[in-house]
Amino acid sequence: MSKKTETPPPTIITLTLPETGSEGTLLIQRGDLANLSQFAYSPETDFTTVIQQALAALAVVENDPPVIPDVPPRKTAPPPAASPEPPEPVVQVPTKSKKGTTAIPVRFLQITGGEADQTAQEQALKVAGRLLDSELWDGKTPIGIDAAPAVLRRLDGLTDKELKVLFRLEQFVQLNPVVAADDIDTPQDDLAEGQAAQDIPEIPETADASEQPALM
């Protein structure tokens, strides 16, 4: 069986002739290698000699082909690292089933009755704990607790099983409450109110308007 011989690539010669008395160019190429040479052009130019010289120059290039380095990969700046999101504030709700507390996001538990003192907050957490223990509330549905002491008294007379079977969540709390920002008390608000109360001077109830100093 005869071996298949590879056909050598053709030799391509591109000859550029300018006006008489100028330099001409000869581009000779074979495969991926080429050579460009210049010669003085005139009507008496021996093109056979010019082509032979170009072939000789191409042979030199083929015997020792130049090494063309690879283009280095383009450096790309790494994407900026995303800043970590602050942790979501949670409130610890006391539960019997967890034998401790259950962390509930603050946005799921609101006190909508306008009572923001510590006692009201503790009672609201107890209400939320009873609702979690009875599985009446999953801790993921936003609820609002209004008049926590009254709700807690209603829950105290019921077992977790009775709550789950006989009642609905909306019978004890508001579902998906919408609380205006001005109605939400914060510890900073309580501190500001207390400070303002200290700054107001007390006026005796028996003071008579006639006893007040006249404004000049």
How many Å apart are CA 105 and CA 201, to the nearest integer? 41
pLDDT computed for residue 7 by the predictor: 82
Q: Encode pLDDT of 33-77 as tens digits.
A: 888 888 888 888 888 998 999 899 888 888 888 877 777 788 788
What letters, b where the CB count within 10 A reaches 16 and e where it falls short, cover 6-15? eeeeeeebee
pLDDT computed for residue 114 by the predictor: 63
Mean pLDDT, range 96-119, rounded to an integer: 80
Share of the chain above pLDDT 70, in %: 77
pLDDT computed for residue 86 by the predictor: 87
Sequence-ordered list of residues with C-beta below 8 angstroms from that of 90, at least 6 positions apart, any chain:
103, 104, 105, 106
Inform me whether the pLDDT recorded for 131 exceeds 90: yes
pLDDT-derived band at 180 (thresholds 50, 70, 90) equals very low
Inform me whether the pLDDT recorded for 8 exceeds 90: no
- Whether this model's pTM surpasses 0.75: no
pLDDT computed for residue 3 by the predictor: 60
Domain edges within the chain: 11-63, 90-196
Inform me whether the pLDDT recorded for 122 exceeds 50: yes
CA torsion sign for 181, 186, 189, 193 is: positive
Mean pLDDT, range 161-176, rounded to an integer: 90
As separate numbers, helices (DSSP H) first and strands (DSSP E) second, the chain gives: 5, 8
Inform me whether the pLDDT recorded for 24 exceeds 70: yes
